[in-house]
Structure 1
Amino acid sequence: MSCRRSEDLSQPPTSRFVESIATTVRGQPDSADVQAVVLRAVARRSDSIALPDVLELRSLLDVNGEQADTLEKQVTTIISAIDAELAGWDRREVAA
């Protein structure tokens, strides 16, 4: 867990940020794993999320974004889950 919380994720995701990532998801094949695409896109936009963090986040995220009625809501749900997990990492680092 080498990650420090991304400044980009410290606030609720903006509609522009969500739309940008949704556009990235739309550019993928239909068989693409939306959660993986969103996680990669968030990591690329953050200078504080390293590859080991992405792999750990991927294994920890428990999101059922498919329930969302739009891709934007699905992306927002996944980003919120990433943010919540990173916040937990911050709390554990402070306590250590």
Structure 2
Amino acid sequence: MSCRGPEDLSRSTTPQFVESIARTVRVQSDSTDVEAAVLRAVARRSDSIALPDVLELRSLLDVDGEQADTLEERVRTIISAIDAELAGWDRQEALA
């Protein structure tokens, strides 16, 4: 697990951030895996989420985004799950 800085997802649920990620996901219209597309987009925008982190996050995320009415709601749900998982990593590293 890489150490993330506080700037990474501190604004993760702001409407502008969610809309930006949703636009990126829409452009990848051939991608039916919204969770993977959101994770890729978030990782690209972060300086401290490395490839091993992306792979581990992908295996750990368990998001029920199908309940969301809009793509933006699905994106917000997935980003919140990513942020929660990374916060857990930060707590583990602080205790180590």
TM-score (normalizing by structure 2): 0.91
Q: Does the residue aligned with 1:25 lie in a helix, a strand or coil?
A: helix
Contact kept, 8 Å, 1:4 with 1:48, in 2: the verdict is: yes
Q: Which runs of 5+ in 1 are unaligned?
A: none
Deviation at 1:27, TM superposition (A): 1.1
- Give the number of the structure with larger relative contact order, counting CA–CA contacts within 8 Å between residues 6 or more apart: 1
Q: Structure 1 residues 65, 47: closer, same or farther in 2, change over 3 A?
A: same
The residue number in structure 2 matching 1:74 is 74
Q: Which runs of 5+ in 2 are unaligned?
A: none
Q: Structure 1 residues 12, 24: closer, same or farther in 2, change over 3 A?
A: closer
- Cα distance between partner residues in 2 of 1:65 and 1:85: 16
Count of aligned pairs between the two proteins: 96
The residue number in structure 1 matching 2:15 is 15
- RMSD across aligned positions (CA): 1.4
Q: Structure 1 residues 12, 54: closer, same or farther in 2, change over 3 A?
A: closer
Question: Which amino acid is 1:32 matched to?
Answer: T
Aligned pairs for 1:38-77 within 5 A: 38-77=38-77
Contact kept, 8 Å, 2:8 with 2:48, in 1: the verdict is: no
The residue number in structure 2 matching 1:83 is 83
Superposed CA offset, 1:31-81 (max 9, x none): 520000000000000001000000000000010111101110100000000
Deviation at 1:7, TM superposition (A): 1.4
TM-score (normalizing by structure 1): 0.91
The residue number in structure 2 matching 1:35 is 35
